[in-house]
A and B are shown apart, each in its own frame.
Chain A
Amino acid sequence: MPVEIKNLTHIYSQGSPFEFQALDDINITIEDGSFIGIIGHTGSGKSTLIQHLNGLLNPTSGTVIVDGMDIFAQKKSELIQLRHRIGLVFQYPEHQLFEETVHKDVAFGPKNQGLTEEEVDDRVRNSIKMVGLDYDEVKDKSPFELSGGQMRRVAIAGVLAMEPSVLILDEPTAGLDPRGRDEILAQIKTMHQKNKNTVILVSHSMEDIGKLVEKILVMNEGKIVYFDTPNRVFTEIETLEKIGLAVPEVTYLMRRLKKKYPEIREDIFTVEAAKNEILRVIRG
């Protein structure tokens, strides 16, 4: 399901003193099955952009075309159908939990899709496993007796259970400890490789994004700054710093090393790649 964003502009509270332009003429196409990272400073329009992709926000002008269909020209019932195929995990998704048991909460989405009891059960079981929780242990627990990290996983499972063709995650690791963060990101990566669905990951962390995604969308003040592979984006250190972002720390390290070892490569943004490159140069 390719997602095409055309001339998308969004202005909040138009006509009042609080008017604020969050998106300014955005044009991009997200290919089917790609893994995209969106990065930008607070207030750069990331969250506003992703809420247009499943029709939660209406644009001031422009449109979004999913699978050849203009989503803002559809009837309400069509839009609800569309939301079943474009899953959106909000920031701090654990704040949306409401059911008595984990099982019921995860089942909320698939039930809204109108699946049979067995199908729902299957989906719930699979998605809870996918986020790395023990189904039998947690299924009858209240979501509110879980730890923060577990609640986050249950909430993500609630969206995964709908098996969306496009999965959008808004800072899924905010406020988690490093281990929880790595685990959740690894699970998202595994799931992407297995299901071949489109994943859009919004994040602050260049490290996380650099490791995972195929293309990075850099946003600043409602505009697109770059939409390119991590290799290319991370060479633009000066521009990124100017808009309040940074490249992964290991890239800074490689830059410093370059002064001493001119033959070393700079376009490196994972610790693993850096290790290999350093070893290569040292062993020469």
Chain B
Amino acid sequence: MLKDVTIGQFYPTGSIIHKLDPRTKILLTTAFVVILFFINNLWGYLAAFLLLGVIILMSKIPVGYILRGIKGLVLIILLTVILNLFMTPGAVIASFGPVNITLEGVKIAVFMALRLIFLVIGTSIMTLTTAPIDLTDGMEWCMKFIPFVRRFAHELAMMMSIALRFIPTLMEETDRIMKAQKARGANFETGNIISRAKNLIPILVPLFISAFRRADELATAMEARCYRGGENRTRMKQLIFARRDVVAFVVMFLMIAGFLATTIINIPLLFPL
């Protein structure tokens, strides 16, 4: 049940995509997401599709595993498609009673669906190919360029890595407590909403207690080793840009240039929209 969540999970295969510097992956993913929202023609989406396809192949992660991440978002995507399909004013191509489907509506609905799907795939490739610790290291470096946030970059990154570090632990803990209460005859599967909510108490109370205990122990352990934030702190593992990162950046710049060209020049479309 809890194992089906793939967003934010790390899938080690040791591929070249995994070996890229986390900063490269963060910056390029951000760039990808931004251009995704500027693309306004099918050529652009085709290019984005090919780009994702090549990256997935290079990352050696099974396609099915990546697509599982979309499953959870099917509802949101459907809702977006339906709303756009019926709510966009323009040339009517079909009407069902009071609601009309317009040509513009179809176009926006298709683009929106593609954008969301590519967005999820693009970002999950980043998290699937980057170990959480590397990801937060990369984010800390990136945050140093944002005014205001810069001062708390280290603290934010530390909080994030601790949170990420404890997700699997807490999931395991939940699983264990749930099993322990099931063994005592607790029933989480049947009953109405109110009785189900009540049945969660035997899980939530022990879970909170253990979360606080863990937090307390971790804080003590950190203080015992003289942790006092980012000031003058050095790293055991330095992030270094390698040649493959340069290659990745070059490829991405070419892609961006290509996208801009198609949006500005307005190459004839595959079919008129």
Interface, chain A (partner B; CB < 8 A): 13, 16-17, 51, 54, 56, 76-77, 80, 83-84, 87-88, 90, 93, 95-98, 108-109, 112-113, 144, 158-159, 162
- Minimal beta-carbon separation of A58 from chain B (angstroms): 12
Q: Taking each of A88, A90, A98, which has the highest tally of chain B beta carbons within 10 Å of its own beta carbon?
A: A98
The verdict on B190 contacting chain A, using a C-beta distance below 8 Å, is: yes
**Residues of chain B at the chain A interface (Cβ within 8 Å):** 3, 11-13, 65, 176-177, 179-187, 189-190, 201-202, 205-206, 209-210
Extra 4 A-B pairs, beta carbons < 8 Å, given A95-B180, A98-B205 = A87-B183, A90-B180, A95-B210, A98-B201
Cα A13 to Cα B12 with chains together (Å):
14
Contacts of B201 in A (CB 8 A): 98
Q: With both chains docked as a complex, state the minimum distance between the C-beta of B257 and any C-beta of chain A, in angstroms.
A: 36
- Cβ-neighbour of A56 out of B65, B182, B206 (below 8 A): B182
Partner of A96, one of B3, B177, B185: B177
| Minimum distance in angstroms from B13 CB to a CB of chain A | 7
Interface SS, A side:
helix
Interface pair B3/A13, CB less than 8 Å apart: yes
* Contact indicator A159/B184 (Cβ below 8 Å): yes
Q: Which of A56, A96, A108, A144 has the most CB of B within 10 A?
A: A96
Total number of residue pairs linking A and B with CB closer than 8 Å: 64
Q: How far apart are the CA atoms of A97 and B203 in the complex, in Å?
A: 9
**Beta-carbon contact of B183 and A112 below 8 Å:** no
Inter-chain CA distance A93–B186, complex, in Å, is 15
**B206–A97 touching, CB < 8 Å:** yes
| Contact indicator B179/A56 (Cβ below 8 Å) | yes
Contact of B185 among A16, A51, A80, A97 (CB under 8 A): A80
In the complex, A96 Cα to B201 Cα: how many Å? 11
- For the complex, what is the distance from the CA of A80 to the CA of B184, rounded to whole Å? 9
Chain B residues lying within 8 Å of A80, measured Cβ to Cβ, are 185, 187
The answer on a CB contact under 8 Å between A17 and B177 is no
Instruction: Tell which of B12, B183, B205 touches A88, judged by Cβ atoms closer than 8 Å.
Output: B183
- Residues on the A chain within 8 Å of B180, using CB: 88, 90, 93, 95-96
Identify 26 residue pairs between A and B in the complex whose beta-carbon atoms are under 8 Å apart, listed by A's number.
A13-B3, A16-B65, A56-B182, A76-B190, A77-B190, A88-B180, A90-B180, A90-B183, A93-B180, A95-B176, A95-B177, A95-B180, A95-B209, A96-B202, A98-B201, A108-B185, A108-B202, A112-B184, A112-B186, A112-B187, A113-B185, A144-B209, A158-B184, A159-B183, A159-B184, A162-B185
